[in-house]
Amino acid sequence: MQDRFIKCIAQLPKPLSDALIPLLNADFAGHIDAQQLGMLTAKSQLEESELLLALLPIAAALAKPPISEFHVGAIAKGKSGDIYMGANLELSGEALFHSVHAEQSAISHAWLSGETQILDVVVNFSPCGHCRQFMNEMVEGQKVLIHLPEQKAQPLAHYLPYAFGPSDLNITEPLLSKQQHELSLDSSDPMIIEALDHASLSYAPYSNSYAAVVLETKDGSTYCGRYAENAAFNPSMLPMQMALSTMTRHNREFTEINRAVLIESAKGKISLVGATMDALHAVAAVELEHIVIDPA
């Protein structure tokens, strides 16, 4: 079991902790598939909703909040039945807009894993306005059930009435819907090919600035992030923040980064290079490789 889970595992009911410990191996990064979830439900003898709330300390253990020292965990359940954990991330000494909220982390985890719809979001503290707006961007976002400790589950519409979202800006394919933007670049570099693939899957209906980041660590592992825009603009999630959140879930240190690539479309109305470089230089002494491409 990873060291970061030692304290929180003691907070769980023993039947659940006994069943969960084998899953918390060196490769665990917050994903529990539907079959594993069923096993945990059976062995813990908890209702699924109770189980997901009980698992929040595990999600919160994924947090990296050097500024607030306030650990928030979130769990997103996808339409597939799998669950995806996320946690808040802050960059030490940097502006607060670089932060990743737990709900963003969990949802981006699900998105990167191929989920096309989130049915439930479980979180240990009430979602802030930023996160409510971010969730509203998703497919049928107003119907997503929000689960909080000691409270009745309510749809997002309860927490965000009179919402402003993609449909108000005539967007018919919201966040998590299957999209494929035609971007091409002649390269045999596996890292650049990976970044290109993720940029083609990014969500940027307001600026058309399709973009992705891939980070490589010294052992050759790669961690990616895609751009996810929002109708209210500010809750947009930058690809670098998503990639750093992915690294954190995988229990990797930012000092292990030895290469970073940003790919973005030349046709976009904005560029993410400045914000991406700021975040990268806050965590690693690595120069950003910035590639701008024309749509196919």
pLDDT per residue as tens digits for the range 202-216: 999 999 999 999 999
| CA angle in degrees (0–180, nearest 5) for 34-40-45 | 125
Question: Which amino acid, one-letter code, is at 118?
Answer: I
Q: Indicate the pLDDT class of residue 296, thresholds 50, 70 and 90.
A: low
Give the mean model confidence (pLDDT) for residues 226-247.
97
Name the class of domain 23-169.
alpha beta
**pTM of the model as a whole:** 0.96
Domain boundaries, the chain: 23-169, 190-293
CATH architecture entry for 190-293: 3-Layer(aba) Sandwich (3.40)
pLDDT class of 33 with cuts at 50, 70, 90: very high
The arithmetic mean of pLDDT across residues 32-59, rounded, is: 97
Mean pLDDT of the residues in the chain: 96
pLDDT for the residue 220: 97
Supply the pLDDT for residue 35: 98
Q: Is 90 annotated as a binding residue?
A: yes
The secondary structure of the chain in percent helix, strand, coil, rounded to multiples of 5, reads: 35, 20, 45
**Enzyme catalytic residues:** 103
What span, in angstroms and rounded, lies between the C-alpha atoms of 287 and 192? 15
Q: Give the separation between CA 174 and CA 142, rounded to whole angstroms.
A: 12
Confidence check: pLDDT of 83 > 60: yes
88 labelled ligand-binding:
yes
Instruction: Judge if 23-169 and 190-293 fold alike in CATH terms.
Output: yes
CA distances from 33 to 65, 94, 217, 237, 248 (A): 27, 35, 26, 25, 20
Question: Mean pLDDT over residues 269-296, rounded?
Answer: 93
Confidence of residue 155 (pLDDT cuts 50, 70, 90): very high
pLDDT in tens, 51-66: 999 999 999 999 999 9
Percent of the chain clearing pLDDT 70 (strictly above) = 99
More confident of the two residues 222 and 182: 222
Residue 89 labeled ligand binder: yes
